[in-house]
């Protein structure tokens, strides 16, 4: 007997969100599958808050910092910890989430989610053509913490990868957008 796995479309997922059926379920849609989101610990939460405060000061006025809000991709509706998206002055986003072409940088903070962030999410963001993706590895041992900067999406992956443990982390896509690694990493 063959078991067929049903994949969900973005529209089906968004319909469930509108009905409230997912209100108590911390999930996101990744490549047609419902994937549980890990609960945020204090370090994860504080790094997001502090990083978003710093980034809001350096992001050009035509962009905004989105904190833990969905973006819509072709087959997925991930909720990145932080994303820099095109500022919507038209209220169009009252009716939809930012899409891949409006998303310039995604940042995920990883404690227990590192495999997901460097595996399926990396592929999804690259396939969608999101030009820059940072994974902040909040390893338990402070000396192992690192920021993985991924750029140049091509063929479902990122062609360039840089690992930083100190200094300034600078966006390759958004001139002037930079943040100290110590703020991202909490060390």
Q: Is the pLDDT of residue 21 over 90?
A: no
Q: CA 101 → CA 3, 80, 125, 160, distances in Å?
A: 36, 15, 11, 20
Chain-centroid distance, C-alpha 184: 14
Strand intervals (E) in 56-131: 63-67, 82-86, 103-110
The whole-number pLDDT of residue 171 equals: 96
Closest CA relative to residue 41, chosen from 145, 111, 140? 111
Q: What is the mean pLDDT of residues 31-37?
A: 87
**pLDDT one-digit tens code per residue, 156-173:** 999 999 999 999 999 999
Helix (H, G, I), strand (E, B), or coil: what is residue 185? helix
What is the model's pTM?
0.91
Q: What is the mean pLDDT of residues 131-153?
A: 95
Domains and CATH numbers, the chain: 39-185 (3.90.1570.10)
């Amino acid at each position: 007997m063959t078991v067929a796995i049903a994949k969900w479309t973005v529209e089906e997922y968004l319909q469930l969100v509108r009905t409230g059926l997912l209100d108590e379920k911390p999930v996101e849609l990744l490549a047609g599958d419902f994937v549980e989101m890990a609960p945020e610990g204090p370090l994860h939460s504080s790094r997001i808050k502090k990083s978003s405060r710093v980034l809001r000061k350096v992001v050009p006025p035509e962009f905004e910092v989105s904190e833990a809000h969905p973006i819509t991709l072709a087959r997925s509706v991930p909720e990145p910890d932080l994303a820099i998206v095109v500022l919507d002055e038209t209220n169009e986003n009252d009716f939809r989430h930012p899409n891949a072409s409006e998303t310039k940088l995604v940042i995920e903070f990883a404690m227990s989610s590192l495999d997901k962030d460097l595996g399926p999410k990396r592929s999804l963001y690259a396939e969608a053509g999101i030009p820059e993706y940072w994974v902040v590895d909040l390893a338990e041992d402070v000396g192992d913490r690192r920021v993985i900067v991924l750029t140049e999406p091509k063929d479902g992956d990122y062609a360039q990868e840089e690992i930083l443990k100190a200094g300034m982390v600078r966006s390759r896509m958004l001139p002037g957008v930079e943040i100290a690694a110590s703020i991202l990493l909490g060390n």
